[in-house]
Structure 1
Amino acid sequence: MSKFRRFLKRLKLNDTPSTDDEVMDSTEQAELGDAGSDESERPIPENLVKYKEHFDIAVELGLFDIQWYEAHYGTFESDIAAFADYIEKSNFANINPSAHFDTESYLRRNLDVYHEEAPPLLHYMYFGAQDKRAKSNAQVRWHPKDALVANETENWKEQKVAIVLHIFYQDSVVKFAESIATLPLNVDVFVTAASGEIAELATQTFNSIATVDKVQVKHVPNHGRNFGPFLVEFSEQLLDYDLMCHMHSKKSLYSGREQTQWFDYLHQYLLKDRHTVACLLRLFSEHEDLGMYYPTSFWMMPGWVNHWTCNLPFAQPFIDQWQLDINSDFVNYPVGGMFWARPKALAPLLSKTYAYDDFPGEPLPNDGSYLHALERVLGLLVEKQNYKQFFYYPTAAKFTLDKSYIYINYTKSTEQLFHEVQNFEIVSFDVFDTLVNRQYVAPDFAKYRLGEYLVEQEVVASPELFVKLRNDTETQLRIARDHKGDLGLAEIYESMAKELGCDPEQTSQWCELEFQFDLQIMSGKTEMIQLANRLSDLGREIWLITDTYYSEQQISMILRHCGLAIGFRLFVSSELKVRKDNASMWQYIQSIIKEKEMTIVHIGDNVRSDAQLCGDHGITNVHVLHPKDKWLAAGFKPNALTKGMNDKYESLKWGPLLSKFGRYPFFGN
């Protein structure tokens, strides 16, 4: 047990009851009037006495400001109640106690404090400042473009509401029950329970709550995670309700101990917080076009959590069935699978009859399945039904329709990026679209240029046919090898020689021409090249790790051509016969790091290869935006290139714009 955890245990601040009942909505504030305006004359409630000493110190240090806190997060019964509210939420919610302390920055810099699930402000006051751990002033990472204000309506408490719970962990029954008991309206509760014991406890517990009218509990098999059971058991019944709230017990196991912050965050802003719940119910009542609500994605998740990752193929049945339009690799969806919705907005999903065999069984991968895809298409389905999604951003305490929150983590200046990676002994970079840009973005452009040349030589009928032949040859070679290992450009052209009945020496010349055409349209991404040079000057080892059919010599030529004038170590898939996109490269890198006993961070643009699989092998990484992703993130309309249409004239039209705009892969410069 850490010194700080022992400290918290003595203070009994790490297992305190919630103070949510101290937060008042606008109606309660009006009823209170001037009562308690002189706080010094009122006794401190017994459950808040333990906060008094820490509150006084925080105020004296200028780290807690009651006026600032209430201006951001609502009115509280007392200053101590506001302080307690912050302390109890601060290990999972990205809210700040004043303008002089940024909770998120402190926890990101001090993951040991985050993993302790400890109040960061108290850690800084009693330990961090003494240990010279840095703090930051409160930062504004994202400004919602609009704000939804929850107005009073006549019938918001008359909405027919279903609370739908999938409970795998028994201790979650009490957590859910405590929140449901404080709801401002009566509800029906539907439970799918992972065991008979949980089913029995849930039946007894939820039936004892005054705000619950009806309870249905089903003991279900461990099949289909949180979606399968509720769809099998309750889907069509839910269509009779105005609103539904779907939640499930969730725990993350890492850092050697159980972590609940992700669940705590979703629970807080979906069901537990009285003010938030009252507001979202009012908003649903007032705006009939609102179809789904959830808080913005958990702030300690990686920036790419709102990416399709490897789930798009699994989503194809939903895309085809519901005629969904996919314009971006990033998508707004309830990360974690918990949300409020109008059942009417999900009617195509809920109006079917399901069996457990419709869903994949355990064990499921961490990502990449029918269920991961279903989670991602929910928001798209709501919008296809002509409803809107809306969100709650805790830092600003605002409800909003603004969907750009999914790019919060992609606002970063070059200086911030440098400070984020400078302390690692090894900094590795992906090459293409991270350090190097193609003027026309699409890698097929060089192949098209070669196709035009071969049309002139009367070798092929059209450049389009040549590009297809070139790509099909590569694909067939990979299939023949069962996608194991890798292959080089020369091997592709040797195979094409056989296909076309050409002299291998001739196709060898074509091979070199493809490389030269590609080299002509490549340039360095200035800020990223400068970052690598600057880190090298600090004595950091620079590694370059790339999945490519080019040889090590050709990659070296590209990098020198693009202005990388430092020493570096190359890891090229075509020569090593291991790749990032199937994780074999990361297994190889992991073995080297273990032997060298050095720290490493990897920077790259491919969510799957450079971030997700890299992280799965314990390697810290920084995901950067591909030029196409940055274009869409900025709010520009999709075009032929962002849709993956590799047409020459569209590449000539849009390529230079995308390339220039995406040169620095973050917003902030």
Structure 2
Amino acid sequence: MGRGRPRISTFSSRSRSVMHGREEGRGFAPHQPRWALRQILEPQRQVAGAAQELKIAACLHIFYEDYIHRFAQALNEFPIELDVLLTLAKEEHIATARKVFEAHPRGRHVEIRVVPNRGRNFAPWLVEYAEKLQQYDLFCHLHSKKSLYSGREQTQWADYATEFTLRKRAQFKGDVSIIDIYTELVKQLGATDQEGQCWMQQEFELDLRMIQAKNEMVELFNTLGSLGHKLWVISDTYYTRGQVGLMLKKAGVTVPYRLLVSSAEQKRKDNGTMWHMVKQDLEGEGITRHLHIGDNVVADAQLPGDLGLTTFHILHPMDKWQALGFPEVLQGDDALDEGQILKWGKLVSAYSKLIAHSVP
């Protein structure tokens, strides 16, 4: 999962074929009705007088023209005025962007730069506006991103990005929890603890609404649990253990598991500290056969593998497509062309699932 969204991987204490028991006719865990959100908390939009004096910037990267208006609408919800620092992938979007944001009631100063659409998750505030952002007390970084591999536009990532994730620069070192983040925000904005709780809950509920299960993985997870395997779920995330547990419940997980999240353990997969702990715990429990499954080649394969842990890396659908020798598609400029993505994306995604299902 993305930025704040937890990246979850799974540990099983046995490495035999995962569907072996089912092929023998053993029972497996059925899917249960998924938990659904019933109430949304609406935070108050007023901030204390001290917050009015803070110098704040919104650093926005826009590739798709329709996100000019989407981001402008998102800024309508911002409680005070701020500067708007834009990076655009196409010069033809300059006129529209300038017209929209210079007329925005929350905008004080608007600056626009045209940049290549590479590394846009972080480059606008690490490269183009790195020096300028040092002048601000707080900044919000948003970028437009569409995922079209299902054959239709999906805006979960972009919608998630429009949640304001303001942090005090350089304040947080190492891993933090969402509670730490909003505690600091309350201090900086002069808000009440209740307002901070409402904002924090709103962010989580937004992400929870967007969670979509990979049904094959959920069925596999429940099957392993019903057969008596010890299952550990390990995630690098600032969400709490309880919040990640709710996400898994919504996805349909119904069997027992141990949940390790970086915000609670103060250890991460991507820097190796989590894997040192996992190795010690496995040895402490006398577990000699295990398998870690994950989709990040470094955090889920290389780092645990260097410690002697057995891993299985799940390839991205595009990696599978290329490994099977199919024609190169969605490369270079085509990788950002909506028409090409709509043409090839659904086929690549569907074929990768068929290949996965046909492996004995």
- Highest Rg: 1 or 2? 1
Q: What's the TM-score once normalised by structure 2's chain length?
A: 0.49
Q: Which has the higher helix share?
A: 1
Return the structure number with greater relative CO, CA threshold 8 A, min gap 6.
2
